[in-house]
Every structure is written in C-alpha cells, then in structure tokens.
Amino acid sequence: MNVAYERVSTVKQDERRQELSFDNYKIDKRYIDKATGKNTDRPQLNKLMVEVKKGDNIYVESISRLGRNVDDLRKLSEHFREKGVTIHFLKEGFNTDGNMYKFLLTILGAVAEMERELIVERVREGIEKAKKFGTKSGHPIGRPKRILPKEFEKYYKKWRYKKIKGVEFAKLIGVGRATLYRYINEYES
C-alpha cells in the first residue's frame, strides 16, 4: 500500500501544495497533521506508525514535513524500517532503502532543524522589536486602549458605591449595558 504523510504547522495552513507532489504516485491513503513539527506526538503520525505494514511505502513531500529534529527523524525512520516500511522523501530524492539514507537524513535533518531554530529566533526577535518600538504602523502591539466616555469616571464612582444602578449608569454615558460592562472590565484591569 502507498500512503502519503502530510503536515502543515497550523490549522489555517493548507496542505494542497504538498498534495501536488504526490500526483505521479498512486496513493491509497493519506494522513494529514495540522501541527508543529517540533515533536513527533501528532495524531495522524501516531496512527500511521501503527497502521502501516511490511511492504508499505510512505511518501513525504519533504524531510521537514516528517520532522524538524535529527533525532526524531532517525527514530521515525528506524521505526518504519523495523516494520519493513520504506519512506520516500520526494523533494530530496531519496528513500530509506539501503544505508545511504542515514547519511542524507543526518545532513538534511540538521538543515531542517537549523531552519526551524532560525524561524523561532526571528519570530522572537520580531516580537521583541515590535514590543520595544511598536508595530510598523507606529501603533503599539495589541489592542489599543478604548477611550472611555468623558463622564465615565464620575458615574463609575457613583455606581461603585451603589448610588446608581448599572442601567442608569449606561443611560447616563449613552451606551448599552453590555458595552458598559466591557468598559468597566477594561477600566478595572
């Protein structure tokens, strides 16, 4: 049986780009994870590890779709080889038949691992810069603070000391009760 394993990092991402890689192969079953590749605890990968049998072929669009960590890639490859299953890495053009795959897996796996570390580092740096300098548009990160109505504080104190009810408070500042309670939550936080 020929199976395809596909992985995208988030639920919002689309796996169709990977599907195009399998056009020249007769794929009997697909396993798709929408999860990070930083570890191997992925629902569809776990299912694939159990369901494949001796003589099956696993097609993966690229090495980074199976894993982004050399140790995880080695363990997964050994698991499948022990079951008599061959993994085909289409983009890199090799499979787990023979012994050469260990060398290629180590080199290319290290590149995938380094790529992931660089991405994480760039994201972290970007967030730090954005927090320090604000976003590209000049606005600070996060939701801007709501500007409360002019009379809010005056009536808030009366409401707090139970001199007026919430319904009156809302009418006095010209908003609905739901909006009033949102204002109160923001004001108190």
What residues are paired with 7 via a beta bridge? 33
Reported as half-sphere exposure (CB side, CA atoms, 13 A), residue 53 has a value of 1
Contact criterion met (CB below 8 Å) for 90 and 23: no
Distance between CA atoms of 64 and 7, rounded to whole angstroms?
Answer: 9
Name 31's bridge partners: 5
Q: Looking at 9, 64, 137, 189, which residue is catalytic?
A: 9
Q: Which residues fall within 8 angstroms of residue 59, CB to CB, at 6 or more apart?
A: 2, 3, 4, 5, 21, 22, 25, 27, 88, 90
Let me know if 9 is a catalytic residue: yes
Q: Which residues are catalytic, by number?
A: 9
